[in-house]
Amino acid sequence: MTVALAGYLDAVSLVREPQRRKLFSARFRNELQGYDAVEVLRRHAERAPADDSLSLIQYLDLKTYLAGDILTKVDRASMAHSLEVRVPLLDHKLVEWMSGLPPTWKLNRGTGKYIFKKAMVPYLPDGILDRRKMGFAVPIAAWFRGQLRQALKDAVLGPRLMDSGLFNGDALRELVEQHQTGDRDHSAALWALLMFESFHQRMDQPAENGLDPELAVS
């Protein structure tokens, strides 16, 4: 594995391998038989038609993060409000053309989207072209230490996860304690655990949620 690929896999992992080993119970780790969640990315990397690290990482994003996360969120949020959102820069012919461009046309001396920004110079002011990227993440880390503090503890340290046989109870308690005392920021891992617990809650109450009990169990 190249250094670039290893760095990318480490960066996109919500829970890195050392922490995952601590979180999972010994029985569950044994059942996994050495399987690692990043195997999906490794398989894509093996098939990537890329000769440089930047193109490889962009290929992996196209295959996983873009389709499975970013575009999914946009589609759900827009359609929930009866909005039709188009993504013109993802037209397949344009993507195919861009994938063959030299890496320095995409990232040049620290400037990302280099050729795109150059193409927009006649149409956009410098204040727009040079503005730093602005995300729209919610303050989960602060919420888990504030108004969601008790709800997080009730869920992550509750019986559904503690008694599932999948997790190491001591590791779960350490994760919650370190985050809520401010020693570490485990918000990404805790959010994943919270959603996993919520999924199990829904599956435990199929009739109440209008689900077919047989479908919920299968």
Does the residue 187 lie in any domain?
A: yes
Mean pLDDT of 163-167: 91
- DSSP assigned state of 62: I
* pLDDT band of 185, cuts 50, 70, 90: very high
Contact criterion met (CB below 8 Å) for 190 and 156: yes
Distance CA 216, CA 218 (A): 6
Residue 209: inside a domain, yes or no? no
Top pLDDT among 49 and 171 is at 171
User: Does residue 60 sit within a domain?
Assistant: yes
Domain carrying residue 62: 3-100
pLDDT in the model for residue 217: 46
pLDDT digits (tens, 9 = 90+) for 73-96: 888 888 899 988 878 888 889 988
Residue ranges of E strands in the chain: 107-108, 111-112
Higher pLDDT, 125 or 214: 125
Count of the separate structural domains present in the chain: 2
